[in-house]
Structure 1
Amino acid sequence: MIFVYGFGECEKMAMHERKVIELDQGWDFMQKGITKLKNLLEVKPGETQFSSEDYMMLYTTIYNMCTQKPPHDYSQQLYEKYREAFVEYIDDMVLPALREKHHEYMLKELQKRWQNHKVMVRWLSRFFYYLDRYFIARRSLPGLNEVGLTCFRDRVYQEMKSMVKDAVLSLIDQEREGEQIDRALLKNILDIFVEIGLGSMECYENDFEEYLLKETAAYYSRKASIWILEDSCPDYMLKAEECLKREKDRVGHYLHSSSENKLLEKVQHELLSVYANQLLEKEHSGCHVLLRDDKTEDLSRMFRLFSKINRGLDPVSQMFKEHVTSEGMALVKQAEDAASNKKEEKRDIMGVQEQVFVRKIIELHDKYLNYVVECFQNHTLFHKALKEAFEVFCNKGVAGSSSAELLATFCDNILKKGGSEKLSDEAIEETLEKVVKLLAYISDKDLFAEFYRKKLARRLLFDKSANDDHERSILTKLKQQCGGQFTSKMEGMVTDLTLARENQTQFEEYLTSNSQANPGIDLTVTVLTTGFWPSYKSFDLNLPSEMVKCVEVFKEFYQTKTKHRKLTWIYSLGTCNINGKFDSKTIEMIVTTYQAAALLLFNASERLSYAEVMTQLNLTDDDVIRLLHSLSCAKYKILVKEPNTKTISPNDVFTFNNKFTDRMRRIKIPLPPVDEKKKVVEDVDKDRRYAIDASIVRIMKSRKVLGHQQLVMECVEQLGRMFKPDFKAIKKRIEDLITRDYLERDKENPNLYRYLA
């Protein structure tokens, strides 16, 4: 079909002739053109294409008939006849052709007829274009294109839409059952539902999509009811995922894109929402089984599918939480059983088993954190489930040791020289990172801090720390996790040690330049800041004269540096190297300051009673018993005890054992360990009382008046980052603050407190 001239050119040519054209005469001429167009559409043999002259004459005829002076302006009549041309063609040719065909053949005919109709609209609207430009524009009537398409909608679409919809749904059903269908045909047919709406989706949605969604729901409801009985959970999910993929493809191939979400929601509802609990709880293949058997691929699929339905992930995350909790509790029980067996063998409770327990907890966390990241796509619901699960068993403790103590001891083992964990620098860093992550789940973080500080002190003071960089690294990690206040004292301890080394160097230089001040004994003094370090008992130990001179010399040196600081000597932390001259050979002994002071007493006396040792050293019963036990009843019997029993009593008498010998020339004689746990717990309890007091005062100062329940809850919230305060403890601290006039009870309502400035 040829289209040569622009409309403006045709109008210029039409103005040469102004002979009046009557309606019948003009329409007869137009009918010939319309008949020619119909013949071309029906592919009648012998019909030739429109030439430029044909087109020009048809356009000019309409133009002339519309621009004649009244009563010969036939614009209104031509507008009506334009519509009648379509009605006539549809009634004579289109509808009879469609009515005689069914199913797919009817769809193919409809496809052809719709394409032809659009061609007819395009050409007729060009012939009648002058109407569009002037008559229709002035009267605000529907345009030529709209009139043409509306004719098809009112006469063809309205009659055929139900049969077309049924035929399309039948083909979709066949495709769902695995048959090959003509997708291009369906695409073209469904485009009719869209185009016939003239910019509105109403026809597509009401006449087709609504039925599609109902059919889809019914289809998958039937399928799901069979699959849920026959298939395992993984097999069912595979089918569900495949169905969703196919439905998505269906949209891509022939459905309108606006149907995608609605269609997938129907499939998800029937396949997943309806059977969610049944599917997740399948006896031999449900969620718990997939977690137990580490079926990560199936779990990933489960996440993908259930994330698409409303609150679909809630039960999955709950099952994940239950599974992780039971795995953790199993480790706790295992460690408890192992610890009770070891007690019978009189092994150290904080031994290998507890280290293994913490290592297993770390491995468990690694494993399920990986699940959260890989299988559950880092979803917050699963991070929350993991956190809540670990909070349950990480706060259980094992064999009387709290989880805070276990973690602190685990760190100590990694960081001290000769610890049981033999790891590379990278592995140590990685493990410390993981320990700090576990700390987030522990409610008594302040207890961990105190245990850790005690152990850090021992590592630093007795040169047990394997690597200063690792010590600083874990403090940085703890600071990031728990805040600067958490690590401030520990950081101070590490800094103290650096300053103490510089101090020692200066002391040695002082001795070199003051040879008369030199006590004749090698002396190393570590000066510490009281506020940073754990509190230690300091007794006025009666030092042997050799040691007294050392202390005096250091005091003189220290006064040259500062006159405003007081030195408090902690002899319980000191160590000495002394030579023991035995009959067989001289042996160097590494002992504590207490042990050294006790042994040096035997230089002046051959025989000493328990009471004499106690008096001369000025120590308590507990300390005397510990040090005499270490020297006479333990591995190395430097002193001979009478009577020869395994325990120390006030009636015992001691003599130096000249006959002692050992294959080594150097031996270390340890003191029996003191259980520091009780002291740590007492210190933490005391700190907690201060923290609760400060929190209550802080809250009341800003709020002025507050109810009991609200005060308690705000206090718990404020302190929750470091420890879980006990409600009774808070109540007790409130009472104490009332007696100290920080708060008062309201006279009318005893549950209301007022702040007293």
Structure 2
Amino acid sequence: MYVYQEINGKVRDAVICLTDREREGEQIDRALLKNVLDIFVEIGMGKMDCYENDFEAAMLHDTAAYYSRKASNWILEDSCPDYMIKAEDCLRKEKDRVSHYLHSSSEQKLLEKVQHELLSVYANQLLEKEQSGCHALLRDDKVDDLSRMYRLFSRIPRGLDPVSQIFKQHVTAEGTTLVKQAEDAASNKKAEKRDIVGLQEQVFVRKVIELHDKYLAYVNDCFMNHTLFHKALKEAFEVFCNKGVGGSSSAELLATFCDNILKKGGSEKLSDEAIEETLENVVKLLAYISDKDLFAEFYRKKLARRLLFDKSANDDHERSILTKLKQQCGGQFTSKMEGMVTDLTLARENQASFEEYMANNPHAGPGIDLTVTVLTTGFWPSYKSFDLNLPAEMVKCVEVFREFYQTKTKHRKLTWIYSLGTCNIIGKFEPKTMELIVTTYQASALLLFNTSDKLSYSEIMNQLNLTDEDIVRLLHSLSCAKYKILNKVPNTKTISPTDYFEFNSMFTDKLRRIKIPLPPVDEKKKVIEDVDKDRRYAIDASIVRIMKSRKVLGYQQLVMECVEQLGRMFKPDFKVIKKRIEDLITRDYLERDKDNQNMFRYLA
């Protein structure tokens, strides 16, 4: 033991010196070092005190000093990827050193020293290097370097926090650039045709999907599916996915994008697999959008048009996206849409039995081929139903169908939505006879000219019983647009209440069958109004639910719980919540506490 006391200091220094020489690349006798270090262990008689106090502490101190010197040079000379390669190499070699001659209990302490000097001390400098730091690696898609960065920084305490922050900033910046590009493109194209703007918006959504695919792959592969990076990706997408483009909210853009993929003749020609994959991606993006209820309403409007006008390309895809939406947002989100799809199947069966009824009662027939789609009011968007004065031929159709329907059920009331109807009518023009495909409104207007050569604006309006807004759209489509079935006096481009109209007997076209479009009413305003109304009901219901279970609650607490309950569908506005609370007080659902104005009680 005396000999040990005499020489352990010199031996320790010699071992440390040899270790440093090995670090510099020299070959040393590792077996000799192992034998020497085993003596430190054995002297302890089963305890590690001698090894730890007489050798390990000094070795760790020297290691820290050695790597501190190295790191201070490398951080100035090397790029971030080169520095990381060196750091990873050093850690591998130190681990190797432990397995060859140091005691296994030193491994963790040794690696922590090296990590501290090479990574912790210079973490920020390394990540923020101008041309080669984390931003640059993300910008230049350096996947291997990013994987190495993850491996290294996951070793040090909270080392991944700054990496995930930079990742979030980078993705946010890329997404915001896409929004700006789409905004610029939309404002440049505003002067041109509307459908080009639509195309720009399609391109924008497609680019956002590609961006998401790219960075989700980074999260899964480079960052090993770590929750910090999933959170960073989510927060980044929430920032720019809730910005609108060209006056349209992201909820509307997504709904339009889906419509374009699911309808016949959409601008994207995709295989079934590609459509499925795209729909999957759309639903992923929807997770980042705060106004999910607005998306649902726009989607429902567009779904209704696809189903009612036979524009849907494939029933399986329609059902598939509803399944995906249901998984993402819950059954309540899709119940109406699923009802619409089922409704249409029932409507086809209904039409088949109507045709059978007509075949069995030929005398009852209206003399016109008639197809009626019966829908369930609760599932479909609300449509204006006017008491349009139908031409006699059509009145007969309505009566025949009503008689048939009453044979099936006595308890249901039919409300006719003429604004969604279409008619094929024959126009006998002097050059040739043609078939015109028009809406029920247009057909009703044209049939007036069977009995009159010339009609004024007010006569048409009175005979049809429509509003000014509808009459203007209607007459414009027939006298000022591409197909001038009616001649207008005076011959101007706009409709005014003093105009007269007459049948254009000289009308012709190279086709024998033409469709005369009626410009659609911009439904955006109505959708937003409907959603606002539904939100008021949802907030009322939420407040009552909370108060019913809590009985007494402070204002702040009530607002926070309400926001939390409704947050899955939309972000409620605090001012609106306050208004709804006041409204519920006037309707005797709640009352204010007499002593504390910010305290509310539930009134059973």
Q: TM-score if structure 1 supplies the norm length?
A: 0.79
- 1:416 and 2:255 correspond: no
Instruction: Give the equivalent residue in structure 2 for 1:232.
Output: 79
Q: Given residue 205 of structure 1, which amino acid in structure 2 is its aligned partner?
A: E
Q: Which residue of 2 aligns with 1:486?
A: 333
Q: Which residue of 2 aligns with 1:309?
A: 156
Paired amino acid for 1:236: Y
SS at 2:520 equivalent:
coil
1:365 is paired with a residue whose SS is helix
Question: 5+ residue gaps in structure 2?
Answer: none
Amino acid at match of 1:485: Q
For residue 7 of structure 2, the aligned residue among 160, 179, 184 is: 160
Residue 397 of structure 2 corresponds to 550
1:171 positional shift? 1.0
Counterpart AA for 1:414 = I
Q: Deviations over 1:65-85 (max 9, x none)?
A: xxxxxxxxxxxxxxxxxxxxx
After superposition, residues 468-507 of structure 1 pair within 5 angstroms as 468-507=315-354
Does the 8 Å CA contact 2:280/2:324 hold for their aligned counterparts? yes
- 1:291 pairs with 2:142: no
Does the alignment pair 1:259 with 2:106? yes
Q: Which has the larger radius of gyration?
A: 1
Q: Secondary structure at the match of 1:527?
A: coil
Per the alignment, residue 375 of structure 2 pairs with 528
Aligned position for 2:427: 580
CA distance in 1, matches of 2:193, 2:306: 26
Counterpart position of 1:65? none
How far apart, in 2, do the equivalents of 1:662 and 1:605 lie? 24
2:510 aligned to which of 663, 667, 681: 663
Q: Distance in 2 between matches of 1:511 and 1:739?
A: 56
Q: Within 5 Å, give how 1:40-59 maps onto structure 2.
A: none
Contact 1:325 1:392 in 2 (8 A): yes
Q: Is the 8 A contact 1:626 1:672 kept in 2?
A: yes
Deviates more, 1:343-352 or 1:364-373: 343-352
The structure with higher relative contact order (CA 8 Å, sep 6+) is 2
Within the candidate set 271, 275, 279, 1:428 is matched to: 275
Q: How far off is 1:728 after superposition?
A: 0.3
- Retained in 2: the 8 A contact 1:325–1:390? yes
Deviation at 1:195, TM superposition (A): 2.2
Q: State the match for 1:351 in structure 2.
A: 198
Structure 2 CA distance for aligned equivalents of residues 734 and 315 of structure 1: 42
CA distance in 1, matches of 2:598, 2:302: 44
Please give the residue correspondences for 1:455-466 in structure 2 after superposition, counting only pairs within 5 Å.
455-466=302-313
CA distance in 1: counterparts of 2:103 and 2:483, whole angstroms: 91
Give the whole-Å Cα distance in 2 for the aligned partners of 1:221 and 1:425.
58
1:201 Cα deviation (Å)? Answer: 1.6
Which of 548, 558, 563 matches 2:410? 563
Residue 628 of structure 1 corresponds to which residue in structure 2?
475
Q: 2:529 aligns with which of 682, 686, 693?
A: 682
- Rounded to whole Å, the distance in 2 between the matches of 1:212 and 1:556 is 100
CA distance in 2, matches of 1:183, 1:631: 97
Normalization by structure 2: what TM-score? 0.99
Distance 1:349 1:732, change over 3 A: farther
- 8 A Cα contact 1:589 1:669, kept in partner: yes
Mapping of 1:121-270 within 5 angstroms?
Answer: 154-270=1-117
| Aligned-partner residue type, residue 221 of structure 2 | E
**Matching residue of 2:215:** 368
What amino acid maps onto 2:222 in structure 1?
C
Matching residue of 2:181: 334
User: Which of 508, 511, 520 in structure 1 is aligned with 2:355?
Assistant: 508
Using the alignment, how far apart are the partners of 1:345 and 1:420 within structure 2?
18
Q: What secondary structure is seen at the aligned counterpart in 1 of 2:225?
A: coil
Aligned-residue identity in percent: 85
Task: After TM superposition, list the pairs within 5 Å mapping 1:571-650 onto structure 2.
Answer: 571-650=418-497
1:432-451 alignment runs, 5 A limit: 432-451=279-298
AA aligned opposite 1:388: E
1:510, distance to aligned residue in structure 2 (A)? 0.4
Structure 1 residue 164 displacement after superposition? 1.6
Check whether the contact 1:492–1:532 (CA below 8 A) recurs between aligned residues: yes
Correspondence for 1:28? none
Deviations 1:619-660 (A, max 9, x none): 000000001000000010000000000000000100011100
Cα distance in 1 for partners of 2:99, 2:424 equals 86
1:385 is aligned, of 210, 232, 240, to: 232
Give the Å deviation of 1:688. 0.2
Offset at residue 160 of structure 1 (A): 2.2
- For the 8 Å contact 2:190–2:197, the answer to whether it is kept is no
- Displacement, 1:698? 0.6
Q: Which residue of 2 aligns with 1:653?
A: 500
The offset of 1:469, in angstroms, is: 0.2
Of 679-688 and 338-347, deviating more is 338-347
2:169 is aligned, of 322, 326, 333, to 322
What RMSD in Å do the two structures reach over aligned CA positions? 0.8
Cα distance in 1 for partners of 2:557, 2:35 equals 67
Q: Distance in 2 between matches of 1:652 and 1:328?
A: 52
- Is there any run of 5+ residues in structure 1 with no aligned partner, and where? 1-153
CA distance in 2, matches of 1:197, 1:668: 99
Task: Give the residue type in structure 1 aligned to 2:40.
Answer: F
Structure 1 residue 155 displacement after superposition? 2.6
Tell me which amino acid in the other structure corresponds to 2:488: K
* Deviation >3 Å, runs of 4+: none
Checking the alignment, whether the CA contact within 8 Å between 1:349 and 1:399 is kept in structure 2 is no
- Does residue 541 (structure 1) correspond to residue 383 (structure 2)? The answer is no
Report deviation, 1:348: 3.7
3-state SS of paired residue (2:194): coil
> Could you tell me whether the CA contact under 8 Å between 2:189 and 2:197 is conserved in 1?
no
